[in-house]
Structure 1
Amino acid sequence: MVYFDLLPLRSRDLLDLGISVRTPCRPVPALGTAIGLPNLWVKDESQQPTGTTKDRLASLVMAVFRQFGVSEWVASSTGNSSTALARAVKRDGRMRAHFFTGRDFIDNHHIEADDRISLHVVAGSYATAGRTAQDFAARHGLVWEGGFFNWARREGLKLAYLEAFDAITSPPDVVVQAISSGMGVMAAYKGAKEYLAMGRLDALPRMLMAQQETCAPMARAWQEGRRELDDGDVVEHPVGLARAILLGDCRAYYPYMRDIAHATGGDIVSVSQQELMVARDMLLRLEGLDVCHSAAATIAALRLQVARGRITPGQVVLANLTGRARSVPPEAPGKPMTRF
C-alpha cells in the first residue's frame, strides 16, 4: 500500500486490500464554470465498494482490531459506517459485530444479519442508539468501537485526501466536505498536516464544512461565534434530504470543528434543502456524477461561499463527494433485526 508508512500499523498483513479502493480525483470544468470556480476538483468516493468513503474507515478499523486482538465489538451509525464495517466483517471469519441504529435510519443500512453480524434498532435518534450501543458493550464485556473518537477511523478516512493531494495538479486552497460529527474533516486536517510536515503541501488548505439547515447546530454556533454547544442546540428528531449527516447532537464534536475552522481560516455553513437539490442536479447534469444529497452539500456550500465572496475564481478547490444514494436491501431472511 502506497501510504502504509503513514498508518499506525505494524504489518501490511493486517490490511485487507479488498475492503476499499482508490477513487477518481478529477477536475470538473463544466460544473466549476457554472458556479464560478474554474479550478474545481472532486474526489468521487461514491466509487467505493459500498458506495461511500466509509469503506476506507472500515479498512483501518478492522486492521487495528486485528493488531490488538479484538474479535468481537459493538458499533453504531446512521448507516454508511455500519454498512462498510459489516462488509468488512463478512470478509473476516474471525470477527463478530453488533450494530445499533435509530429507528429512522433502518433503510440506510445494507446489512445482511447472520451468526456473526447483528443489527439492533433503537426507538430513538442516532445519539440514543449510540448510548444504547455503549451500554450493550459494557453489559456484555465487549469493545465499543468508538465512532468519532476512534482514531483508526480518521486514519482510514485521511487516505482519500492523501490520494487527492497527490492527484491534483496544484495544492488546494480550499477543501470542502459535508459533516455530521466532522470525522472526515478531522481526517482531512490530519492528512494535510502530515503532508505539510513532509513538504508535500506548502500550506494548510482552508477547511469548509457544510451542514443542512434542517439539522445545523454546528453551523449556527460557528456563525454566532460560540465556543461550545449546549442542550438547547440538540435537534431531537432531525430530518432532511442529506440523511448521512442527520446528527442532532453535536455537543461532543463541535469544539474540534471550531478549532479546525479557526486554524485554517475555514468556515462552517448550512445550506437549504432546495440548494441541496440544485447542487445534486448540477453534479449529475454537468458532470455525470450521481451522488447523494450529503455529498452534494459540498457544491451547495461552494455556491454560497462564491456568492459571499469567501472563495474567489482563482483559487483551487477540492470537494470530497463522500458517497452515492443506495437502494434499500431486503432484510436478511430468517434473521430479523433486534428492536430495543
Structure 2
Amino acid sequence: MSRLTLQSARANVRADMPAPAALVCVRCGSRLPVDRYAEDCPACRARGAPANLTVAYDAIPGRELDREKIANRPSTMWRWDSFLCSSAADAVSLGEGNTPLLHAPALGLGDVWIKDESRNPTWSFKDRLASSAVTMARQFGARVIASSSSGNAGAAAAAYAAKAGLPCVVFTFVGASPPLVAQMRAYGAMVVAVEDKADRWRLQSAGVREFGWYPTSPFFGPVVGSNPYGMEGYKTIAYEVAEAFDWDVPEWCVLPVCYGDALYGMWKGFEELKALGWTQRTPRLVAAEVSGSIAAAMASGEPMPPDRPRNAPSIATSIGANQGTVQALEVLRRSGGTAVTVENDALARWVVTVGAREGIWPEAASAATFAAIEHLRANGTIESDARVVALLTASGLKDTAVIETALPPTPVVAGGLSEVLGTLRDVYGYRHG
C-alpha cells in the first residue's frame, strides 16, 4: 500500500483519536491494508465461507472520550467521533443519528423500546452507513459513489453523495418501490434499473474494478456485507442505546436482518463500550429474517448461511435476500443470540399494529422485529421481564403498498353525520357513545 493512501485514511483524524490501522476479517482476524474496502477476506473465501472486513484502529476507540461530557457534544452520530474513522469537523453529515428511543407498552410485548431510525434525514438507518462511508470516500479521493439497492441504501448514498459534491450511480431493479426510486432521483443520483436483480452487482462490480467507483453497498456474491467504513456508523446506535439507559444495556436487541451490517455494527459498538468499562455486558442479538438462511446455519453449525429461496417474494423487500452472511452468523453466535424467520402475514399485521398502537409507521422489514419478539416471548427464549430494544429501520412511507393492501379501502361517505357513524361502525367497528 502506498504512503499516500495510508495518509488519506488518517488525514482527518484528530491527534486524540485512534486512526484506522487495518481492515480485519470479521471471522478469522486476517489483516488487510486500509484501502481494501472493496474486498472480502481471501482466506475465508478460499475456505468456502466468504467474510466481510471491519476496521481495526491503532489504539482503543473512545479511550480519550469523557463519558460525562458526551451529552454536551453536537446532537448527531458524529458526537461519537472518538470511536469513528474521521473527526466530526470533517464528516459528510446531514444531522443523522441521535434518534429517539421510545417505550412501547401498548404493543403488548412486555418491556420493549423502539429505536426509531425513521427520524434520520432520509428516513432510514442507512444514513449512518452513508455518512461514514462517504466521509471516507472523500478522504480516499473517490470520484464516484456507487450503490446497488432496493431502496434505503440507494437513497442514503444519493443524499450523502450530493452533500459531498460527488456523483452517485445507483443500480436498482424493475419493480422496486416507486417512492424509494423517486427519493434516489430527488437527491440527484443517476439511477439505473435492471430486469434481473443479479445484474446490479455485475454492473456495479465493473464500475468499481474498472473505474474505481467507491462502493457503499454489497456488489459481489456471495454477499459478505457493506463497506466496512460505512458499517462503523452503525456502532453509534449501540452507543446511543447504552447512553439512554444510563449505561445499563438491555438484555436483548432485535433487528431486521438482510446482510447483517447493522447487526454487526451494533454488536461491535457494544463490545467497545464493554472494553472501556462503560458497560458490563453485551446484549444478546436477534436477527429477524425472511429467508431462514441464518436460522438454518445456527441450527446446523455450518460456517456459511445457505441459500434459501422463498416460494413467494417477501413484502419486506429490503431484507428479501435468500442468503445471509458470515458476519451476521458470527454476531449471533458470539452474543448468544438467535435468528427468527418471519412470514408475510406477520409482517403485514405488525405494520398495522405498530402504527395504530404507538403512532409509528414502520416499513415492512422493521415489522419483522416485532414479530420476532412476539415469537421469542411466547416460546420463553426472551424472558417475560427482559428489556428488549427493537430497531425500527425505516419509515412506512418508503413503501406504501404494504399498508394499502393490509387495510380495507378508504370508505366514501354520502349524506350526513348519521351515515358517517354507520360507516365508522361497519368498516372500523367504532360505536359512538
Counterpart secondary structure, 2:397: coil
Contact kept in structure 1, 2:101 and 2:113, CA below 8 Å: yes
Q: Which residue of 1 aligns with 2:299?
A: 223
Higher alpha-carbon deviation: 234-243 or 133-142: 234-243
**What does residue 244 of structure 1 align with?**
318
Structure 2 residue aligned with 1:284: 355
Is the radius of gyration larger for structure 1 or structure 2?
Answer: 2
Q: Cα distance 1:288–1:308, how it changes in 2: closer, same or farther (>3 A)?
A: same
Structure 1 letter corresponding to 2:370 = I
Which of the numbers 355, 376, 392 marks the counterpart of 1:305? Answer: 376
Shift of 1:120: 1.6
Which residue in 2 is equivalent to 1:111? 184
* Distance across 1 between alignment mates of 2:126 and 2:286: 20
One-letter amino acid matched to 2:121: P
Alignment map for 1:58-207 (pairs within 5 Å): 58-93=130-165, 95-105=166-176, 107=178, 108-109=180-181, 110-112=183-185, 117-125=189-197, 127-147=198-218, 148-169=225-246, 170-207=248-285
1:243 shift after superposition: 1.4
Contact map agreement 1:237 1:248 (CA 8 A) in 2: no
**Residue number among 316, 320, 326 corresponding to 2:391 in the alignment:** 320
1:21 & 1:259 partners in 2: Cα distance?
Answer: 26
C-alpha distance after superposition, 1:94-113 (max 9, x if no partner): x1121112223263332227
Relative distance call for 1:272 and 1:145 in structure 2 (3 A) is closer
Question: What code does the residue aligned with 1:138 have?
Answer: R
DSSP-derived class of the 1:75 partner: strand
Letter in 2 for 1:112: R
Q: 1:151 to 1:297 in 2, by over 3 A?
A: same
| Distance in 2, Cα, partners of 1:86 & 1:258 | 29
Matched AA of 1:134: S
CA contact (8 A) 1:240 1:246 kept: yes
Contact 2:366 2:392 in 1 (8 A): yes
Confirm or deny: 8 A CA contact 1:238 1:247 kept in the other structure.
Answer: no
Aligned AA (1:167): A
Check conservation: 1:113, 1:119, Cα contact below 8 A. no
Instruction: State the alpha-carbon separation in 2 of the partners of residues 282 and 168 from structure 1.
Output: 26
* Residue pair 2:134, 2:164 contacting (<8 A) in 1 also: no
Change (3 A) 1:323 1:146: closer
Please tell me whether residue 24 in structure 1 is matched to residue 100 in structure 2.
yes
Give the aligned residue type for 1:28.
A
Instruction: Say which SS state the counterpart of residue 104 (structure 1) adopts.
Output: coil
CA distance in 2, matches of 1:19, 1:85: 15
Q: Which amino acid aligns with 2:159?
A: R
Change (3 A) 1:262 1:229: closer
> Higher mean Cα deviation, 312-321 or 172-181?
312-321
Partner of 2:289: 211
For the residues of structure 1 that align with 2:364 and 2:232, how far apart are their CA atoms? 25
How many residues are treated as equivalent by the alignment? 314
Q: For residue 92 of structure 1, report the CA deviation from its aligned partner.
A: 2.7
How far apart are 1:61 and its partner, in Å?
A: 1.0
Give TM-score scaled by structure 1 length. 0.85
CA 1:19–1:122 in structure 2 vs 1: closer, same or farther (change >3 Å)? farther
Q: 1:266 to 1:21 in 2, by over 3 A?
A: closer
What letter is aligned with 2:229? A
- Partners of 1:208 and 1:266 within 8 A in 2: yes
SS in 2 for 1:202: coil
Higher relative contact order (CA 8 A, sep 6+): 1
Structure 1 residues without counterparts, runs of 5 or longer: 330-340
Q: What per-residue deviation string (whole Å, max 9, x for no partner) do you get for residues 47-94 of structure 1?
A: 11211111111111111112222121322122101101101122232x
SS of 1:318's equivalent in the other structure is: strand
**CA-to-aligned-CA distance 1:147-197 (integer Å, 9 cap, x gap):** 324112211122122112111254211010000101110111110111111
Please report how far the alpha carbon of residue 263 of structure 1 lies from its aligned counterpart in structure 2 after TM superposition.
0.9
Distance 1:194 1:152 in 2: 16
Q: Please give the alpha-carbon distance, in whole angstroms, between the structure 2 residues aligned to 1:194 and 1:134.
A: 33
The answer to whether the 8 A contact 1:238-1:246 is kept is: no
> What is the percentage of aligned positions where both structures have the same residue?
25
CA distance in 1, matches of 2:130, 2:312: 26
1:271–1:106 CA distance, 2 compared to 1 (3 A): closer
- How far residue 290 of structure 1 moved from its aligned partner, in angstroms, is 0.9
TM-score (norm 2): 0.68
Contact 2:217-2:227 at 8 Å conserved across structures = yes
Residue 172 of structure 1 aligns to a residue whose secondary structure is coil
Q: 1:123 to 1:136 in 2, by over 3 A?
A: farther
CA RMSD of aligned residues (A): 2.3
- Partner letter of residue 62 of structure 1? V
CA contact (8 A) 1:14 1:66 kept: no
* Distance of 2:216 and 2:185 partners within structure 1: 20
What does 1:16-55 correspond to in 2, within 5 Å? 16-31=92-107, 34-35=108-109, 37=110, 39-55=111-127
3-state SS, counterpart of residue 302 of structure 2: coil
**Secondary structure of 1:326's aligned partner:** helix
